Amino acid sequence: MHNLFQYVPGNSIIHRMNPITKIFLTIVICIAAFVSGNLLFLAGLLAVDLLIGFIAGIPEKTLTIFKGLLKIAIFLFVLQILLVRGGTPVFWIITDEGLLTAARVVLRLVIVCMPLALVLAVTRVTDLTNSLVQVLHVPYKYAFTLSTAIRFIPQFLEEMSGIMEAQTARGVAFDKAKGLKKFSMILPLCAPLLISSVRKTDLTAAAAEVRGFRLRTRQSGYKRYPFTILDLGAAAFCLLLLAAAILL
Amino acid sequence: MIEIQDLTFIYKDEKKPALQDIRLTIPEGGFLGVIGPAGAGKTTLARAVSGMIPHHYTGDYYGSVTVNGMDTVETSLEDISRLVGMVFQDVDSQIISPVVEDELLYGLENFGIPREEIPQRIDEALQKVGIADLRERAVGSLSGGQRQKVAIASIIALRPRILVLDEPTGELDPRSSRQVFSLLKELNEEQRITVIIIEQKIMLLCEFARQLAVLSEGKIVRQGDTRDVLAHAEELEALGVNCPRVTTLSRAVSVKTGEEQPVCLNLDEAEAMVRRLIS
């Protein structure tokens, strides 16, 4: 879980793409997933997601993310087929429309979440924010907020497991509890987590300030983010996806 | 040169002063070690020198801190930061970027270091701290000691004239701790960079620091040349500051023989003393 959002160094074509292109591609995939309701097309989109992960040279991570999402997907699927009442019954209280809606919801969920996680795996957060500032003229303050939020995810998890270990050492049996019970045991830990996080955030702010946070301008970034033929190809692919989504 | 005059500071919403009547002068090219029990105000002192007090941490501020002629209250934090580099005690909070290389880039970019100079500065800083192989690594995948080195490298790359380090070897093994001190010594001697280091490893302080300041409950209880401060070992131990064994030895010999021995700061000096006594 700790490394789920961590950058994996590499030199694949996905790595070398302009960060803006990667964000664009992600958005296009999301839009395509909601424009089209064709199950086959959605399955195709899912294949595109997985393919991107494989081209980027991170098949293991891609599958880990996929498996993680699958768990949530199965839960949602069951919920949907039990709740949707329209259509003709197929078996027990399950209807054909229920099955279709459930399949769409689940596919869309996985399709949309996968590229979001993959972008973070193949792009340095710094490149992401710097390109947002340089190319899209996003104010640095907001870009910094975004990068800090992403940067804090693993630290949050680390801190949380630290607090849980401390509680376990004092006899709290987190390992024996399951489901709601475990949730209710973890909930009170949010207070110490929040307090220590706020303290840390303040220190991080100070660390940024003493290293010239307020002097930073749009041109400060060392790296430049030009668009290349690779990005052109990706853009063409995006248009193709959109066209297919509308037609199918 | 850093001049602290009658500095008293009380953090906002607190009653007790974190620092009280601090008077301290650190000459240019000095190497000052700061030591004292927990809660003595060591970190507050570091923050005052680096301008974080009063610019980031507010509260009641009396007295003055002057860094190279600039009063830290009147100078902007950015202008102080160009001169003073600070390594935080909590490195996890100090590190802003998720990748080592980007962490070093951050300050360089912000302070507008010329583009052509940047790669060389990064190479140099990584090499000096001995982590050239970590350049592309994700910070989250590093050990505590490695992160500490990254934090130090990111500050050294900025080439500050004054380095303030708050327990920079807290997570380092003895060998790496010594490496950090050797690096500081090199910077101090070759480039005349002023070093202020808060450190609990007294043995290293005695060996490298030329001056010591002992803090307790927000006050400086002793300051001066390392040897002179260590001559008051009983006083330090009463405050909970352990003295190195060689110092304890030279003191014990002084008491036993009834004849005042010079304070030993390292093994070589202790050996010389023992040889002299035997012969």
Residues B116-163 pLDDT 10s:
999 999 999 999 999 999 998 888 888 888 999 999 999 999 999 999
Q: How far apart are CA B129 and CA A209, in angstroms?
A: 23
Complex-level ipTM: 0.83
Q: How far apart are CA A67 and CA A205, in angstroms?
A: 36
> β-pairing, B211-216 with B219-225?
antiparallel
Chain B residues near residue A9 by CB distance under 8 angstroms:
136-138
CB contact under 8 A, A126 and B97: yes
Pick the closest to residue B118 from B150, B159, B71 (CA basis).
B159
pLDDT at A55: 86
Token pair, residue B274, equals: 């023992």
- What angle do the packed helices A229-247 and A19-35 form, to 10 degrees? 10
Q: How far apart are CA B174 and CA B180, in angstroms?
A: 10
Is residue B263 predicted with pLDDT exceeding 70?
Answer: yes
Is residue B181 predicted with pLDDT exceeding 90?
Answer: yes
Who among B77, B95, B99 is closest to A209 (CB)? B77
Assessment of whether the complete model's pTM goes beyond 0.90: no
Who's near A160: CB < 8 A, 6+ residues apart?
A189, A193
CB contact under 8 A, A212 and B81: yes
CB contact under 8 A, A6 and B94: no
CB contact under 8 A, A212 and B96: no
Q: Which of B3-17, B189-203, B257-271 has the lowest mean pLDDT?
A: B257-271
Coil, strand, or helix at residue B102? helix
- What angle do the packed helices A39-55 and A19-35 form, to 10 degrees? 160
- Provide the mean pLDDT of chain B: 91
Chain B residues near residue A207 by CB distance under 8 angstroms:
88, 93-96
Q: How far apart are CA B203 and CA B70, in angstroms?
A: 34
CB contact under 8 A, B97 and A221: no
Q: Where in chain B is the domain with CATH 3.40.50.300?
A: 2-232
CB contact under 8 A, A203 and B141: no
- For domain B2-232, which CATH number applies: 3.30.390.50, 1.20.120.1770, 1.10.150.110, 3.40.50.300? 3.40.50.300
pLDDT at A1: 45
Section B181-204 average pLDDT: 92
C-beta separation of A241 from A38 below 8 A: no
Share of chain B above pLDDT 90, in %: 64
Chain B residues near residue A155 by CB distance under 8 angstroms:
92, 140
Pick the closest to residue B158 from B234, B107, B87, B204 (CA basis).
B107
The phi and psi torsions of B205 (rounded to 5 degrees) equal: -60, -45
Residues of A near B (Cβ–Cβ under 8 Å) read 2-3, 6-7, 9, 124-126, 147-148, 150-151, 154-155, 200-201, 203-216, 220-222
Taking CA–CA distances from B86, the nearest residue in chain A reads A210
pLDDT at B225: 92
Taking CA–CA distances from A148, the nearest residue in chain B reads B96
- Chain B interface test: which of A198, A210, A214 (most B C-beta within 10 Å): A210
Q: Give alpha helix (H) positions in chain B.
A: 42-49, 52-55, 77-81, 91-94, 100-110, 118-129, 144-156, 174-190, 202-208, 226-230, 233-238, 245-257, 267-278
Q: How far apart are CA A209 and CA A203, in angstroms?
A: 10
Section B53-79 average pLDDT: 93
Pick the closest to residue B93 from A193, A87, A151 (CA basis).
A151
Q: ∠ at Cα B31 (B247, B102), nearest 5°?
A: 120
- Chain B interface test: which of A211, A215, A223 (most B C-beta within 10 Å): A211
- What angle do the packed helices B144-156 and B118-129 form, to 10 degrees? 140
Q: How many contacts (CB atoms, under 8 Å) link A and B? A: 99
Chain B residues near residue A3 by CB distance under 8 angstroms:
140-141
A122–chain B nearest CA distance, Å: 12
Who among B57, B78, B102 is closest to A215 (CB)? B78
Q: How far apart are CA B255 and CA B220, in angstroms?
A: 27
> For residue B270, how many C-alpha atoms fall within 13 Å in the half-sphere facing its CB?
14
Taking CA–CA distances from A7, the nearest residue in chain B reads B138
